[in-house]
């Protein structure tokens, strides 16, 4: 999985109409399949009288991603598949999209459904604000007091976050740092302490 990737920063929703049928698209961040399914369930509760709640999600990003989709009663291939295609092309990770449909009395046909679900998905994903998700890992240093300040500065220099400090016979320092900077920090600590201190992954 990428060490950082774009995800939704907030929920977003849009409503489009196609031949009087209402298509209400909603999207949110979902870091796990359970979070995606919880959002889908919430949309079902919010619109209990709707005919369909089509969804697609992508948990993870890049080479390490889990997808899910459902036509929710629409003709096979007309809803979940085009929705997932839009999600996959949106350059977003950890994202779920639900499109709720109210039938307007006029059948849209296979092509019309694909168009409606595709355009609604594109519209809601165009609305969602984005932020960068940064993958962090935990680490631990057990330090002699003489190198405590210098090692703390090394953690801060790689934008690490100090989580806990315990002062006893030695300093027990726990922190979090971006995945891609862990080895850089490990090498810096080794050099600063002449190899006396090794960084442990927590």
Which contiguous run of DSSP H or E holds residue 127? helix 109-127
pLDDT tens digits for 29-80?
999 999 999 999 999 999 999 999 999 999 999 888 999 999 999 999 999 9
Alpha carbons 60 and 77: distance in angstroms, whole number: 24
For the stretch 94-117, pLDDT in tens is 999 999 999 988 899 999 999 999
Give the pLDDT confidence of 160-202 residue by residue, as tens digits.
999 999 999 999 999 999 888 888 999 999 999 988 888 887 6
d(CA 23, CA 18): 8
Task: Give the model confidence (pLDDT) of 191-201 as tens digits.
Answer: 999 888 888 87
């Amino acid at each position: 999985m990428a060490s950082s990737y774009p995800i939704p920063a907030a929920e977003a929703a849009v409503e489009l109409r196609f031949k009087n049928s209402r298509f209400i698209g909603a999207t949110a961040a979902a870091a796990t399949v359970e979070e995606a399914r919880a959002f889908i369930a919430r949309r079902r509760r919010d619109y209990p009288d709707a005919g369909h709640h089509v969804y697609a999600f992508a948990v993870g990003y890049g080479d390490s991603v889990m997808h899910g989709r459902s036509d929710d009663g629409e003709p096979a291939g007309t809803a979940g598949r085009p929705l997932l295609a839009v999600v996959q092309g949106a350059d977003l990770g950890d994202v779920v999209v639900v499109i709720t449909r109210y039938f307007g009395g006029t059948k849209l046909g296979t092509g019309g459904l694909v168009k409606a679900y595709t355009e609604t998905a594109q519209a809601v994903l165009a609305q969602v604000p984005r932020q960068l998700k940064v993958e962090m890992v935990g680490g631990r240093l057990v330090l002699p007091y003489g190198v405590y300040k210098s090692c703390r500065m090394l953690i801060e220099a790689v934008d690490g976050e100090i989580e806990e400090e315990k002062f006893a016979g030695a300093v027990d320092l726990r922190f979090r740092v971006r995945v891609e900077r862990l080895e850089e920090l490990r090498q810096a600590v080794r050099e600063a302490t002449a190899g006396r201190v090794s960084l442990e992954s927590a």
